[in-house]
Amino acid sequence: MSENCKKSIFKAGYIVTLCALLAKMIGAAYKIPLINVLGAEGMGIYQLVFPVYAAAIALTSGSAGIIISRNVAKKRANGELEEKAGACFLYTMIFSLLAALFLSLFSSLIAKIQGFEQLKNCYFIISPAVFFVGMSSSLKGIFLGEGKICFSSFCQLLEQLTKAGVGLLLSSLLIKRSLYAAVAGAVAGVTAAETVSFVVCALYYFCGKEKYRLKMRFQKGYLKENSFIILHSLSLPLNALIDGLIAVRLLLFFGNENAAADYGLFSGSVNTLINMPIAVALSFASATIPAISYFYALSSAQNIKESSSKSVKNVLFISCACFFGLFMLSGEMIEILYPSFESGQAERAALLLRICAVNTITAPLCALYVAVLQALDRGNTCLKTSFLCLLLRVIAMIGLCFRAGIIGVALSWVIFYALNMLINCAFHKKLLGRDKELVKNNMKILFCGVIMSLSLILPKMLIKDALLKIIICSAAGAGIYCALCFLTGAIGKRREERAVKTRKRSLKWRNSK
């Protein structure tokens, strides 16, 4: 693989990362006025819809983009004649349509199970979005596999802008009628966004000069062959679904009268901030899959190891800075972003943010390790790990909720991501071998993060205004962190690999599943 090709792959990854960051910034900015319109309780009710919605998407199309991009990339690499992308597209279309019908027909039952029967209209409104997400995800998978990164990233930005505009407009108008009407208006923004995204993707595909030809036909053994990736895509939505179904009920059962409001603080305000750096890494991981699949098809073990190591280092560089920044400035961020919170709510949200800040490191690295392992046909390993960690998280959540309330829910997520990341890291090391240079650079990055956080203590003590404190500390911290990383050599050009992995070992990976 030429050096120019490798550089173009990572350039694409950086484009996706930047667009994901912008999209998440828009999403976070949208949540701030939305929570001021709906309040903590309304935001908690709004967030109850999304675990069910996310589970429906994961079940029908969560793996579509990954499977299609992998197969398109492999076909580019070795001219593979077997067409799998068309089968994935067809299955996704059928399952997405069935899931949309299920949500609309059983909306009342789902809302009743959650204990909020007024939510039935929200599920009916959001059901078409399940179908449109499936179709647009499949088309984006084609674009990603062909290396057309920019357009998929543009669609992501367009979705967030549409959701923010339509959702805020409708919720602001409908809040005069009732809280549940306003929540339904915000949910309608999601459906509008996914509809627009699908229309734009379809136009781009059909109007393109060089279309990737899809052979829409059922393929024997397709579901069995891709079952590990399909089932793994369910793990995170299933986690969130469990929270949506039982978290509020658990809190109420253990005597928390403000269960819905507390869940709104955790899922609406805190997770909005935490998910920004996580989404950046997830986007980088999605761009990594076609690259690793490309090298895997060519049996290029050296390039696989170099690509995955570089991705891990880049993700840690971003997520480490976010962790220390969120941990040090949690109180000030909550105060500025959510002025409508009462003092008790603000303190609780700041504590939740400090606890969940560690997820900005563990969740992105976990996603990246999973992406690499899936690209190397180790989906079964990722699946077993995820569901083991899911089971342990639920057990931990039940026990911790009894002792710590909503803090217990947050801690259970910390346990889930940390354990998942460590296990996948161990399998990654076993498969590709230990990279001493990567370990050394990662330790340097963490050390630079610690120094950065210590340097923020004095400005935090001297500056009283919260907004000014955030601006000065963020600017100073970013400057110190980046300077230290470059001075210590944590971020820089990797030395050439001394021991080049051979084609023989690459083929051994294939035969040792």
In the numeric block, the tokens 């630079």 are attached to 448
Q: Could you tell me the pTM of the whole model?
A: 0.71
Model pLDDT, residue 12: 55
Whole-angstrom Cα distance, residue 449 to residue 462? 21
From 68, 172, 193, 175, select the one nearest 129 (Cα to Cα): 193
Neighbours of 32 (CB within 10 A): 15
What is the distance, to the nearest Å, from the Cα of residue 41 to the centroid of all Cα atoms in its chain? 25
What is the distance, to the nearest Å, from the Cα of residue 323 to the centroid of all Cα atoms in its chain? 16
Q: Give domain status of residue 315, yes or no.
A: yes
Q: Give the gyration radius of the chain's Cα atoms.
A: 23
Q: What is the DSSP string of 274-323?
A: HHHHHHHHHHHHHHHHHHHHHHHHTT-HHHHHHHHHHHHHHHHHHHHHHH
> Using CB atoms within 10 A of its CB, is residue 279 exposed (0-12), middle (13-18) or buried (19+)?
buried
Q: Give domain status of residue 488, yes or no.
A: no
Domain residues for the domain of 84 are: 3-433
Task: Name the domain count of the chain.
Answer: 1
Cα dist from 9 to 73, 136, 144, whole Å: 12, 22, 11
Q: Give domain status of residue 144, yes or no.
A: yes
Q: Give domain status of residue 43, yes or no.
A: yes
Q: Give domain status of residue 394, yes or no.
A: yes
Q: Give domain status of residue 501, yes or no.
A: no
Q: Give domain status of residue 283, yes or no.
A: yes
Low-confidence residues in the chain, pLDDT < 50? 1-2, 4-5, 81-82, 495-513
Neighbours of 128 (CB within 10 A): 17
Q: Give domain status of residue 450, yes or no.
A: no
Write out the two tokens for 500: 């080049």
8 Å CB contact between 353 and 329: no
